[in-house]
A = this chain, B = another copy of it.
Amino acid sequence: MEYTKNFNIRTGRNLTMLVDFYELTMGNGYLHSDMGERIAYFDMFFRRVPDGGGYCIMAGVQQVIEYLSNLKFSEDDIEYLRNKNSFSEEFLNYLKNFKFSCDVWAIPEGNPVFPNEPLVTVKGPAIQAQFVETMILLTINHQTLIATKANRICRAAGNRPVMEFGSRRAQGYDGAIYGARAAVIGGCSSTACTISEEMFGIPAVGTMAHSWIQLFPTEYEAFKAWADVYPDNCVLLIDTYNVLKSGLPNAIKVFNEILLPKGFRPKGIRIDSGDITYLTKKCREILDESGFSDVQIVISNSLDEFIISDVLSQGACIDSLGVGERLITARSEPVFGGVYKLSAIEDPVGNIVPKIKISENEEKITNPGFKNIYRIYDKKDNKAIADLITLRDEELNLNEPIEIFDPVFTWKKKKIKDYYIKELMVKIFDKGIPVYENPSVMDIKKVVEEETSKMWPEVLRFENPHTYYVDLSKKLWDLKQDLLHKYSNTYEEE
């Protein structure tokens, strides 16, 4: 059991072998081409915000750190790989003694992030920096997808609490567990996923399903039994038979007969089907008339940001919402297309040689070199103006105005005065040693609230958001142009 030492029973398995097989065939190849120890630089970034949104919410860094801290091949893994007949004993020996020694930088969780800026940068021996591709992508892609979707849904819900309810429709166990984590980062107040509270300290909540009602001879008896057991937290699901003719009258009867005499106020009713606008308005009216204006109306049933905006604009009376499958799978756009691309290598004497991936598709051309990112804020209102990607060794002169320019239409320039900057990436591994202290999920959630409040409303809106500026420094832009021209001289159009 060589895993045991670093193995946390709750946070999961050792996932070292969760790797695309080609990372291994390439690793073996690098080793035998004397490239294994060459220092390579990789950037993880994405090209497009899902759902046509204005920004994404960074999430998953803690799990990347856990993964990178626990890289270890077992004897069984080595034996399995040996039997594939693709790898030399020298390479298998390398894996057996694998010791992660890369430097890694990442944008901390909860920050709004934008296309084409590095979210994670890995610098280290080519075998290693290549190997970690699959899990870095998988982790950040998944959690950023869900945090971003949750943020949309919570914005649509206004100040109403949104509960994450989707475990049963998640794509696998981790889809539920880490999906709940990301959903709370993005803005959800709580989750139905119990294990996620144990693991991450995010509140788990829940009351009853239709089966509770059905198991009793009548709805009234089911409500009565519930009120007896949970007088202090009584939320009744009222749509098993008929909301207005049966569920609500029975609920009110039980509130009056059981709760009030015992000195408890009822907490709420939940509706999980039917016409939300009509039913919630009617229920609100009847509850208010019956002396229960403090009783909350909770809704669920295939909600997402579009339906929530719609029913609220129709005047639906909603106090809180449960959102399930459309959040936990990001149903409207379930793929977050983060990529992991080589940006530089060091030559044998340690000089950085920037690399570019060219493409007919201009969008797919990468930003070369070892880079840094600064977020530039306006001093007078703290709003974020732009992100500026520079080369690592550039120094910004903060006493002078910064001139940014559009990387395509370079005559579109903007001179920024009275600004302050924040370096976006933090170092999370130094020569293989974790050096970053993960904040709690509830603290990351606060970062989201704080940092999105610094975004212009034009960037935050759902429809046709303003494209936030992500610009390159002059030095980086020049380098990129040089490389592009170099390649265009070598290769012609298809």
Contact = CB atoms under 8 A, between A and B. Distances in A.
Interface in A172-228: 172-179, 192-195, 197-198, 204-212, 214-216, 225-226, 228
B206 A243 contact: no
A18 B174 CA distance: 10
Nearest to A246: B491
How many copies of this chain does one complex carry? Answer: 2
B176 A25 contact: no
A246 B209 CA distance: 61
Contacts of A340: 168
A20 B179 contact: no
A40 interface: yes
A229 B329 contact: no
Interface in A381-439: none
Interface stretch (A28-36, A287-295, A449-457, A467-475): A28-36
Interface stretch (A51-59, A153-161, A256-264, A354-362): A354-362
B171 A179 contact: yes
Nearest to A205: B21
A111 interface: no
A314 interface: no
Given A42-B211, A215-B342, A329-B335, A206 B24 contact: yes
A13 interface: yes
Contacts of A171: 142, 145-146, 170-172, 174-175, 179, 329-330, 334
Interface stretch (A98-106, A112-120, A130-138, A371-379): A130-138
Interface size class of A (residues with CB under 8 A): 35 or more
Contacts of A229: 28-29, 32-33
Contacts of A228: 32-33
A273 B170 CA distance: 30
A274 interface: yes
Contacts of A230: 25, 29, 86
A195 B19 contact: yes
A494 interface: yes
Contacts of A17: 194-195, 198
A370 interface: no
Residue from A28, A142, A358 with most neighbouring chain B CB atoms (10 Å): A142
Contact of A18 (B20, B141, B193, B206): B193
Contacts of A364: 273
Nearest to A217: B353
A110 B243 CA distance: 40
A91 to B, nearest CB: 10
A14 B18 contact: no
Contact of A169 (B24, B35, B141, B246): B141
A241 B365 CA distance: 11
A38 B171 CA distance: 32
B334 A194 contact: no
Nearest to A174: B172
B26 A208 contact: yes
A445 B330 CA distance: 29
A325 interface: yes
A6 interface: no
14 contacts: A20-B167, A21-B193, A22-B209, A28-B229, A33-B229, A86-B230, A86-B233, A138-B168, A138-B173, A170-B171, A172-B177, A242-B494, A245-B492, A329-B329
Given A42-B211, A137-B168, 14 more contacts: A19-B195, A20-B193, A25-B208, A33-B228, A134-B167, A168-B340, A172-B172, A172-B177, A241-B487, A245-B492, A273-B359, A274-B494, A326-B335, A329-B329
